[in-house]
Amino acid sequence: MFSVTVHTEININAPAERVWNILTDLASYRDWNPMIRRAGGEIRQGARLTIHFNPRGTKGRIFHPKLLVVEPNRELRWQGQPEVPFLIESEHFFIIRPMGGGSVRLDHDMMFHGLIIPIIKNFAVRTTEGPFNDMNRALKERAEH
């Protein structure tokens, strides 16, 4: 199976607990998140979320990913809802790494895998990286102020 990972990261001058609380407060996404305009659901492993993915310049899309990892103050990971299993599937994840002095590094990644990855690899990276960086900057601003 083919795969590609889009990796973004940002240093945030706030404790892991604060960053975690912002990431898991889905109802507040509409107030700060430029990529996921609305979100809902219960933050527990195995639960399904409702995500309104709508970065600037897109028509938007609603999907219902399944939470794979819910490790407070450390990792939040969900599996996308594949439209065509084995052709393309995805995992979206946030890993919070303490850096000392009350700050963290947030790794915000998406791993795509499936049979069509060689064909869509460049498109997937190009359309994911910018919105992820926008969300990272907005999260940093919210956590630091």
Kindly report the CATH number assigned to the domain that includes residue 130: 3.30.530.20
pLDDT for 41 equals 97
Helix (H) or strand (E) holding 141: helix 117-144
Over residues 21-46, mean pLDDT = 97
CA 71: distance to chain centroid? 15
Domain ranges, residue 131: 2-144
User: What's the pLDDT band for 85 if we cut at 50, 70, 90?
Assistant: confident
CB 102 within 8 A of CB 15: yes
Question: What average pLDDT does the chain have?
Answer: 94
What is the number of structural domains in the chain? Answer: 1
pLDDT of 83 higher than 70: no
Tokens describing residue 108: 């915000």
User: What angle do helix axes 16-24 and 117-144 make, rounded to 10 degrees?
Assistant: 120
CA neighbor of 111 nearest in space, from 65, 48, 43: 65
Over residues 29-33, mean pLDDT = 97
